[in-house]
């Protein structure tokens, strides 16, 4: 019997306890083993009393350690005290399963090293994509590949908001309120809508894929809070939808990582990922492109990923993810480093002068110019070799007195 302690008893923590209890017979039949939850750490005892688990509850981490657990499940979230607790457990040789993307994105390297030194394992499938199995494929079925790219919709809140803006012609503010009413957005949605949540998830995946510790704070990160209804209308005019994409590209010794609102063909696979759902596309040099999609959050989907990691620990499956190499010779670059098409949107005070500048800057490029009956929404499509070339071509426009605002959107097809 493996003694399991759970740190945190919110939505995901209660889901983990439910799955452990639900699967007792299956576990015994399949593995001739069982999990026994011997303690649940909570911050506020009174809040959780009377819900059927009173005999397991404690607000003392030391009390959990006294139980000499075999495995700990950390689902309390945040950096501290989770970092201290997880590090202490790993140092003691206690294997840890966590769903904490903030913790792994900020301190994953340190904790993987602690697990290795302590003879424990650290699993964190649920830290990215909720119930979508995406980390485990990197260390199993895809490990024979050199990963070329990771591109996906990794935040359900912003996908819900953008879907509402597209489907129902709502403003950003109206769509955010609907997301909050439906429980998909927090009262303070900053981490989601500014792209930080997706960036942390991308940092975890790209670090594993490229074997280099990549900080989300070193990525370009642009959220959805400034997406306007006319941006959605522009996307619709060119048969696309706007999605918040998390993007990691490797080309030679260069890696580009960013989170940004981008356009996707409405008939493409990503174009059909709406509402709170997530999707992650991975391209390897051998397998080509593979797609993982499903519920990116929620009580039982996330608990499902945690439970799968618990089974891996039970079957003594090793990490498969060694401490990442901070010295790998990759250069993190700020611009999208592949040929693609862009939508450039402008707000101008003199259309003809602006058009002349556009034609001059992009004289050697295939150009599709659009004017939607307003100086506040002039946009064009252009193909370039990479984002750096685009920015060079846009420099005269950004410095022109005729242009009041300029924004560019990547088009991913």
261 φ, ψ (degrees, to nearest 5): -65, 130
Contacts of 202 (CB under 8 A, 6+ apart): 150, 154, 216, 219, 246, 247, 248, 257, 259
The DSSP result for 121-183, as a single string, is -EE-GGGTTTTS--HHHHHTTTTTS-EEEEEEE--HHHHHHHHHHHHH---HHHHHHHHHHTT
Q: What is the rounded CA–CA span in Å between residue 266 and residue 354?
A: 30
Q: What is the rounded CA–CA span in Å between residue 159 and residue 193?
A: 10
Q: What is the rounded CA–CA span in Å between residue 191 and residue 217?
A: 13
Angle of helix 387-398 relative to helix 351-361, nearest 10 degrees, comes to: 140
Pairing outcome for strands 288-295 and 95-98: unpaired
**Coil, strand or helix at 410:** strand
**Coil, strand or helix at 289:** strand
Contacts of 410 (CB under 8 A, 6+ apart): 245, 247, 260, 262, 263, 336, 340, 342, 387
Contact 90, 114 (CB under 8 A): yes
Is the bond preceding residue 129 a cis peptide, omega within 30 degrees? no
Q: What is the rounded CA–CA span in Å between residue 138 and residue 324?
A: 13
Where do we find the tokens 């960013």?
258
Q: Which positions are catalytic?
A: 201
**How far, in whole angstroms, is CA 82 from its chain's centroid?**
20
Contact 343, 234 (CB under 8 A): yes
């Amino acid at each position: 019997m493996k003694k399991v302690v759970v740190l945190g008893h919110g939505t995901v923590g209660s889901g983990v306890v439910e799955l452990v209890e639900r699967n007792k017979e299956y576990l015994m039949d399949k593995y001739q083993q069982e999990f026994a939850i011997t303690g649940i750490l909570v911050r506020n005892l009174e809040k959780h009393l009377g819900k059927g688990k009173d005999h397991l509850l404690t607000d003392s981490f030391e009390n959990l350690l006294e139980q000499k657990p075999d495995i700990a499940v950390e689902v309390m979230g945040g950096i501290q005290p989770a970092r201290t607790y997880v590090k202490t457990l790993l140092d003691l040789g206690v294997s840890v399963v966590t769903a904490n993307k903030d913790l792994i994105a900020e301190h994953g390297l340190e904790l993987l090293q602690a697990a290795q030194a302590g003879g424990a394992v650290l699993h964190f499938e649920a830290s990215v994509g909720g119930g979508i199995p995406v980390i485990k494929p990197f260390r199993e079925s895809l490990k024979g590949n050199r990963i070329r790219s990771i591109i996906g919709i990794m935040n359900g809140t912003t996908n819900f908001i953008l879907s509402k803006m597209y489907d129902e012609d709502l403003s950003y503010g109206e769509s955010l309120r609907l997301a909050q009413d439906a429980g998909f957005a927090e009262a303070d949605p900053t981490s989601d809508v500014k792209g930080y949540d997706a960036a942390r998830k991308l940092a975890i995946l790209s670090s594993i894929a490229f074997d280099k510790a990549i900080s989300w704070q070193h990525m370009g990160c642009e959220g959805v809070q400034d997406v306007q209804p006319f941006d959605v209308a522009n996307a619709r005019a060119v048969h696309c939808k706007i999605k918040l994409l998390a993007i990691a590209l490797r080309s030679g010794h260069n890696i580009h990582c960013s989170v940004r609102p981008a356009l996707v063909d409405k008939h493409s696979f990503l174009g059909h990922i709406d509402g709170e759902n997530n999707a992650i596309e991975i391209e390897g040099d051998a397998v080509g492109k593979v797609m993982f999609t499903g519920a990116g959050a929620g009580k039982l989907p996330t608990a499902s990923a945690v439970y799968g990691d618990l089974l891996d620990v039970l079957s003594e499956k090793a990490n498969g993810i060694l401490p990442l190499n901070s010295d790998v010779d990759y250069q993190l670059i700020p611009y999208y480093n592949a040929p693609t098409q862009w939508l450039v949107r402008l707000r101008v005070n003199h259309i003809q002068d602006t058009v002349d500048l556009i034609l001059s800057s992009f004289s050697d490029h295939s150009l599709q110019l659009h004017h939607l009956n307003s100086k506040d929404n002039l946009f064009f499509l252009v193909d370039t070799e990479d984002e750096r070339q685009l920015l060079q071509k846009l420099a005269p426009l950004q410095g022109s007195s005729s242009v009041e605002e300029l924004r560019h959107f990547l088009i991913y097809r």
